[in-house]
Amino acid sequence: MSDVLAVAEHRRGDLRDVSLELITAGRDLADAQGGDLHLAVIGGDAEGFAGELNREGVDAIHAVDDGNEFNHDVYVQAVEQLFDEIGAGTLLLPNSVNGLDYAPAVAERLDVPLVTDAIDLAHEDGLSVTREMYASKVATTVDVDAAEVVVTVRPAEWPKAEGEGSADVRSFDPEIDESTVRSTVKGFEEVGGGDVDISEADVLISVGRGIEEEENIELVEALADALDATLSSSRPIVDAGWLPKNRQVGQSGKVVTPEVYIAIGISGAVQHVAGMKGSETIVAINTDSNAPIMDIADYAIVDDLFDVVPELIEEFGGEPP
Amino acid sequence: MKILVTVKEVAEAEDEFEIDGLDIDDRYLEYDLNEWDDYAIEEAVQIGEDGDDVEVVSVTIGPERAEETVRMGLAKGVDRAIRVWDDTIAGTDDLDVAAKAEILASVVEAEDPDVVFSGVQANDDTFGATGVALAERVGFEWAAVVNHLDQGSLSEGTASVRRELEGGVEELTDVELPAVLTIQTGINEPRYASLRGIRQAQSKPLDVQGLEDLGLDADVVESPVERTAVFEPETESDVVTFDGDANEEAAQLAEMLRDKGVVEG
Ligand SMILES: Cc1cc2nc3c(=O)[nH]c(=O)nc-3n(C[C@H](O)[C@H](O)[C@H](O)COP(=O)(O)OP(=O)(O)OC[C@H]3O[C@@H](n4cnc5c(N)ncnc54)[C@H](O)[C@@H]3O)c2cc1C
Ligand SMILES: Nc1ncnc2c1ncn2[C@@H]1O[C@H](COP(=O)(O)O)[C@@H](O)[C@H]1O
């Protein structure tokens, strides 16, 4: 028997979806382990968030009133103390950007093993976690032989918890050693604005690292023109400065849901897919039939983009550059 | 000022591969400098070029083969490199995050850097955790997923950074030094090694150290986390693949798009 503690995530006044997904993952695990599911929410309108988090399956919610926004030095101390106080066995944290910023430190403090980016959890003799390796080309199972463990959970893998809960909401008052708070969040800034809003487009021609060189961008530009579509891209194209930031699809770019999304030379990394999996029809043009993008594509051409794209431009009466 | 950069040589699977036991068969793996670490090296080297008296040291935990990528860092401007390896490490299947943090911590303690740059993630086993775990272990402050650093702030004992959050939002944060920053791609434009750099790299120091040299016991590599299966993920996909030569493939795709009525022409 062992309890699960999951920590919610919020930003600038809003609870993030992954918090509700953690409840689903945490409830299943707590059932398998015969324990309770505790949630923690730290900072911001903790009491208000606790109300939103009170979904079916949650046994207790601990609200920590400290600060407005995420500060990892505060989170690390609060979570460490709460985990000890509850005597929980599993700590479930989101594998979000902020999760990356505190989960490893909490595991270190608690001196317990860490398994990141779980896509499935099972408990029989012990905890067994499924995660991916080699840019999602393979999945692995890892077994954890320890009474306590920190696991981070991939966003958007578990459904959001629903139904009204009847959890007991308590406030928890950790002792924060202010001298160890050596980082200060000064503010936030929205980036990637500008003239084009790719999330408005009906058809997106999206280009990835398979395009190889900056001068080849005009090839996909010509295709976008011929189709009267909008050009977007994966991250490496923006990192290299070949297209502006407002064209980036994915976790740190834009979420798009066009009628048709044509991924050209894009492998389909999880952070890319996070931004386009809601597209109505997904087409992949890729030389690698094993690329993860094939798992979510509706249509595929397994071939060299430098052969296919010029043909496609001609199909629509355009002229390849 | 001293900057320590953690670098990893990562394995990448070829398009077609086979699984052998608990890993992809080595014949189908290619090795390269981790993309994120390339940006970390560039950031450090730029600071070294702009400042007086800056030393850039890289550290990697890896086998002899990894020296190729370690030398690539030296060719790009890293001053000196450390490679940690011995039979005990070689005999371990997977170094977990705690083991890596412990080994790197002993290097940090010996080198006493002002700032450590690591990558957000290693693109083979993608723990996304080593830098922050290391920071906590050595009592440094940290920031994860940094896509901008105000280099001038370092001389004032602070790292003023931007952390790239989800959805096009950046967080502006000040962290006190000493600190570990996990570097995100796009923070700079990594250089290619010049021929001169490659020549110079041959004579730069590359120290190999074992666990004993670092004052560590063999049991640091032991882990309660064990890989027990490796498999190709099942796909629920019912993808329709257009076959033929490029012309035929393009024609089928065009027909599909016209049928959907999303494009004209
Ligand atoms: C915190 C974080 C946030 C991130 N946010 C984002 C994000 O918002 N958006 C994003 O996209 N990524 C993001 N990433 C990066 C992501 O992990 C991947 O590195 C990236 O998506 C890879 O882009 P790619 O598919 O273009 O390149 P690769 O993965 O290198 O894939 C290139 C593909 O092109 C194919 N190819 C090569 N040559 C040809 C050819 N001639 N014809 C046809 N196909 C070819 C290859 O088979 C391969 O599948 C993020 C990563 C992290 C850690
Ligand atoms: N074997 C290693 N040797 C040196 N640095 C490493 C090693 N493994 C990981 N790192 C560093 O930690 C970062 C994150 O890796 P990971 O936590 O394994 O995803 C990498 O970008 C490297 O900078």
**Complete DSSP assignment for B237-248:** --PEEP-SSHHH
Residue A137 CA: which ligand is closest?
1
pLDDT of residue B235: 74
Distance from CA of B39 to the nearest CA of A (A): 11
CA distance B182 to B36: 9
Strand order in the sheet with A138-144: A120-123, A127-133, A138-144, B225-231
Backbone angles phi, psi at B43, to 5 degrees: -60, -45
**A285 sits in which H/E element:** strand A281-285
Q: How far apart are CA A46 and CA A63, in angstroms?
A: 5
- Enumerate residues 6+ apart whose C-beta is below 8 A from A310: A219, A320
- Whole-number Å distance, alpha carbon B60 to ligand 2 midpoint, is 8
Domain A198-315 has CATH 1.10.150.120: no
Give the mutation target among B118, B120, B163, B253 for probing the ligand 1 site: most ligand atoms within 8 A of CB: B120
CA distance A193 to B206: 45
Q: Which residue has the higher pLDDT, A206 or B93?
A: A206
In short, whether B124's Cβ falls inside 6 Å of ligand 2 is: no
Sign of CA dihedral A305, A307, A313, A315: negative
Concatenate the DSSP letters of all residues of A152-164 into one string.
Answer: EE-TTSSPPP-SB
Position A125 scores a pLDDT of 87
Q: Could you read off the pLDDT of A49-61 as tens digits, one per residue? A: 999 999 999 999 9
Mean pLDDT of B104-118: 98
Q: Is the CB of A272 under 6 A from ligand 1?
A: yes
The whole-number pLDDT of residue A1 equals: 66
Q: Indicate if ligand 2 lies below 6 Å from the C-beta of B131.
A: yes
CB-nearest to A298 from B19, B127, B239 is: B239
pLDDT at B104 (0 to 100): 98
Q: Is A306 in the pocket of ligand 1 (CB under 6 A)?
A: yes
Please name the residues in contact with B69: beta carbons below 8 A apart, sequence gap of 6 or more. Answer: B7, B9, B31, B32, B33, B60
Share of chain B above pLDDT 90, in %: 94
* Domain ranges for chain A: 4-180, 198-315
pLDDT 10s digits, B14-71:
999 999 999 999 999 999 999 999 999 999 999 999 988 999 999 999 999 999 999 9
* Strand, coil or helix: A108: helix
Task: Output the tens digit of pLDDT for each of chain A's 321 residues.
Answer: 699 999 999 999 999 999 999 999 999 999 999 999 999 999 999 999 999 999 999 999 999 998 889 999 999 999 999 999 999 999 999 999 999 999 999 999 999 999 999 999 999 889 999 999 999 999 999 999 999 999 999 999 999 999 999 999 999 999 999 999 999 999 999 998 888 999 999 999 999 999 999 999 999 999 999 999 999 999 999 999 999 999 999 999 999 999 999 999 999 999 999 999 999 999 999 999 999 999 999 999 999 999 999 999 999 999 999
HSE-up of residue B118 (Cα within 13 Å, Cβ side): 31
Give yes or no on whether A4-180 and A198-315 have one common fold: yes
Q: Which two tokens stand for residue A263?
A: 């991924």
Give dist(CA A73, CA B141) in Å, integer: 9
Nearest CA in chain B to A202: B262
Rounded-to-5 percentages of helix, strand, coil across chain A:
30, 30, 40
Cβ neighbours around B25 below 10 Å, total:
12
| Chain A residues touching residue B21 (CB < 8 angstroms) | none
Q: Which residues on adjacent β-strands are paired with residue A10?
A: A15
- φ and ψ at residue A248, rounded to 5 degrees: -80, 125
Structure tokens at A280: 């109505």
Helical pair B35-50 and B67-76, crossing angle rounded to 10 deg: 30
CB of B120 within 6 A of ligand 1: the answer is yes
- State the helix-helix crossing angle for B97-111 and A97-110, rounded to 10 degrees: 80
The finding on whether B100 has its CB within 6 A of some atom of ligand 2 is yes
Instruction: List chain B residues with CB under 8 Å of A314.
Output: 250
Compute, in angstroms, the gap from residue A272 CA to the centroid of ligand 1: 7
Report the residue of chain A nearest B145, measured CA to CA.
Answer: A97
Decide yes or no: CATH 3.40.50.620 for domain A4-180: yes
Determine the Cα–Cα distance for residues A170 and B127; give it in Å rounded to an integer: 33
Domain ranges, ordered by start, for chain B: 2-221, 235-265
Helix axes B130-138, A97-110, angle to 10 degrees: 40
Q: What percent of chain B has pLDDT over 70?
A: 99
Task: Give the per-residue pLDDT at A265.
Answer: 98
What separation in Å is there between the alpha carbon of A52 and the centre of ligand 2? 37
Amino acid at A33: Q
Residue B171 with chain A: CB contacts under 8 Å: 185, 187-188
CATH of domain B2-221: 3.40.50.620
pLDDT category, B94, cuts 50, 70, 90?
confident
pLDDT tens for each residue of B120-163 = 999 999 999 999 999 999 999 999 999 999 999 999 999 999 99
pLDDT of residue A148: 97
For residue A245, which residues of chain B lie inside 8 Å, CB to CB? 168
Q: Given an 8 Å threshold on Cβ–Cβ distance, is B249 in contact with A143?
A: no
Residues A321/A218, Cβ–Cβ less than 8 Å: yes
Residue A130, SS3?
strand
Least Cα separation, residue A148 to chain B (angstroms): 10
Burial class (CB in 10 A: 0-12, 13-18, 19+), A297: buried
DSSP percent split of chain B into helix, strand, coil, nearest 5: 35, 30, 35
By C-alpha distance, the chain B residue nearest A245 is B168
Helical segments of chain B, H only: 35-50, 67-76, 87-90, 97-111, 130-138, 195-201, 246-260
Residue B265, pLDDT score: 60
Q: Is the CB of B62 under 6 A from ligand 2?
A: yes
